[in-house]
């Protein structure tokens, strides 16, 4: 069965599941496990709230279109539109309310609450319910989609506050307690619930396909049971310290299967002040597309080990291009920090100060080259920024992009190209750093070619090995 990721916010209309997870220090020998959990529930639980949201969603009335397709040749006097408008009674767009549920944790006695950004994203209205049953209208103070964290505030005072711990100190196997208000809307009970488990793993990543533009690249994994509504609630250790913010569960069926994730609380502590002040969270950016080295790529570039990151594409007018970085450069160091893989590079660059000039060391033609790059600000939409590279301005509604290369229309199963990872639909741009603009270039570059070949496609670099036959 296909695996799924379910994020913490529960939509009544959509049915998303919620996440929770966290780690704990071992309790003192003279302090029983049940005593520790009860203590955590009583202390940290007092600072956990339920967050209900309301969104207004519009559904456009049915559009019958016209038999000509696209723009009607009759313009505004289209008789077909008039007929169907009369048929539908000129019905307006339909609006309906969509409710959602999540959790949050009070971090300041004056009503500041930390939660997931996806819990409040797009909400027209958010209501916070305290464990004692009191309800307050919430005001959004700051949000950061990339970290999936947000701060909301209620008009209340002298509230119980959770203690933020140190997520860098958690260890695999430590006991943790997940706290939140799952199914609170159905159970009609404002008191938070607790589930118990251990830290299953650290530094987990959900990957770009699942997380999109959110940075789910350094998560805490736990087997604490996760239920709808836990998202945004705390993961605490047995001292009652918050070590994570629950975010998602991994499931094949939509139900609890022992795999949950939480954002390390240290990530939140870095940006809480800016979120409270309503300031934008800035992340560093180089303007490159990169890939991890394989054994074959490392060998081709003359490296003894797979240490470094290969630049597959340099975005036009980006910080990397301005600094002189080139495609097929291998980034070895950033700001005097060794770079072993893509994950390390992304986290290091993201944490760099925007506008600051940083030393970057690359391998180019088997020689080390040191460059100075001015760290740029990460665009809000990376995919759009990358898609606009080389694209023309819109002309009468059209946007085009020039593509030079040869298109792969078929790949023989079991062939060197297949084993290298080349797939149908790939656009080959270079072979052994020789530009390929057409079939003639391709035939010229491959004629009599011996040895392993470095092939650059739109997706990155690949090594196509030589067969014993020499082809």
pLDDT digits (tens, 9 = 90+) for 196-233: 999 999 999 886 655 667 888 889 999 998 777 788 99
**Does the annotation count 118 as an active-site position?**
yes
- pLDDT the model gives residue 56: 82
Residue from 50, 147, 231, 251 carrying the catalytic annotation:
231
* pLDDT, position 264: 96
Q: By C-alpha distance, which of 138, 104, 102 is closest to 119? A: 102
Catalytic residue among 25, 148, 215, 441: 148
According to the model, what pLDDT value does residue 15 have? 30
Which pLDDT does position 393 carry in this prediction?
56
Least confident of 121-125, 331-335, 384-388: 384-388
- CA-wise closest residue to 463 among 308, 224, 295, 259: 295
Query: Within 13 Å of residue 55, how many CA atoms lie on the same side as its CB?
Result: 19
How far is the C-alpha of 231 from the C-alpha of 38, rounded, in Å? 22
Q: Is 20 exposed, middle or buried (0-12, 13-18, 19+ CB in 10 A)?
A: buried
Q: Which domains does the chain have, with CATH numbers?
A: 4-54+99-276 (2.40.10.120), 284-387 (2.30.42.10), 406-464 (2.30.42.10)
From 75-84, 155-164, 341-350, 405-414, the region with the lowest mean pLDDT: 75-84
Q: How far apart are CA 265 and CA 167, in angstroms?
A: 6
Give the integer Cα–Cα distance in Å for 452 and 471: 10
Determine which one of 118, 147, 211, 223 is catalytic. 118
Q: Return the percentage of the chain with pLDDT > 70, whole number.
A: 75
Q: Check residue 252 and give its pLDDT.
A: 57
List the one residue out of 443, 439, 438, 465 whose CA is nearest residue 453: 465
């Amino acid at each position: 069965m296909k695996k799924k990721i379910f994020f913490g916010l529960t939509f009544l209309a959509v049915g998303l599941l919620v996440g929770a997870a966290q780690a704990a220090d071992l309790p003192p020998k003279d302090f029983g496990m049940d005593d520790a959990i009860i203590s955590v529930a009583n202390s940290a639980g007092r600072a956990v709230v339920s967050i209900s949201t309301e969104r207004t969603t519009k559904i456009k009335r049915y559009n019958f279109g016209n038999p000509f397709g696209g723009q009607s040749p009759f313009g505004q006097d289209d008789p077909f539109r008039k007929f169907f408008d009369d048929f539908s009674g000129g019905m307006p767009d339909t609006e309906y309310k969509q409710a959602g549920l999540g959790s949050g944790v009070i971090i300041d006695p004056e009503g500041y609450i930390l939660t997931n950004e996806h819990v409040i994203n797009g909400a027209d209205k958010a209501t916070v319910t305290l464990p004692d049953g009191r309800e307050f209208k919430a005001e959004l103070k700051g949000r950061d989609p990339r970290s999936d964290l947000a701060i909301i505030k209620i008009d209340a005072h002298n509230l119980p506050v959770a203690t933020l711990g140190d997520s860098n100190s958690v260890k695999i196997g430590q006991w943790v307690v997940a706290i939140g208000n799952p199914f609170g809307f159905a159970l009609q009970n404002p008191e938070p619930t607790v589930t118990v488990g251990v830290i299953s793993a650290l530094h987990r990543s959900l990957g770009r396909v699942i997380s999109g533009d959110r940075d789910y690249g350094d998560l805490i994994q736990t087997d604490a049971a996760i239920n709808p509504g836990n998202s945004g609630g705390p993961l605490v250790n047995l001292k009652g310290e918050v070590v994570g913010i629950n975010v998602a569960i991994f499931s094949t069926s939509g139900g609890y299967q022992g795999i949950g994730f939480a954002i390390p609380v240290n990530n939140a502590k870095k940006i809480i002040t800016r979120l409270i002040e309503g300031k934008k969270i800035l992340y560093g950016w180089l303007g490159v597309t990169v890939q991890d080295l394989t054994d074959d790529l490392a060998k081709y570039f003359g490296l003894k080990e797979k240490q470094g990151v290969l630049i597959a594409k340099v975005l036009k007018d980006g910080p990397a291009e301005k600094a002189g970085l080139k495609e097929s450069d291998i980034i070895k160091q950033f700001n005097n920090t060794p770079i072993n893989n893509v994950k390390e590079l992304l986290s290091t660059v993201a944490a760099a100060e925007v506008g600051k000039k940083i030393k970057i060391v690359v391998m180019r033609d088997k020689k080390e080259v040191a460059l100075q790059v001015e760290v740029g600000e990460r665009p809000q939409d990376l995919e759009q920024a990358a898609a606009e590279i080389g694209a023309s301005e819109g002309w009468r509604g059209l946007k085009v992009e020039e593509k030079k290369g040869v298109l792969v229309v078929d790949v023989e199963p079991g062939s060197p190209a297949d084993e290298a990872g080349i797939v149908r639909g790939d656009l080959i741009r270079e072979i052994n750093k020789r530009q390929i603009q057409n079939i003639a270039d391709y035939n010229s570059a491959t004629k009599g070619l011996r040895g392993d070949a470095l092939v650059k496609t739109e997706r990155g670099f690949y090594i196509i090995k030589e067969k014993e036959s020499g082809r």
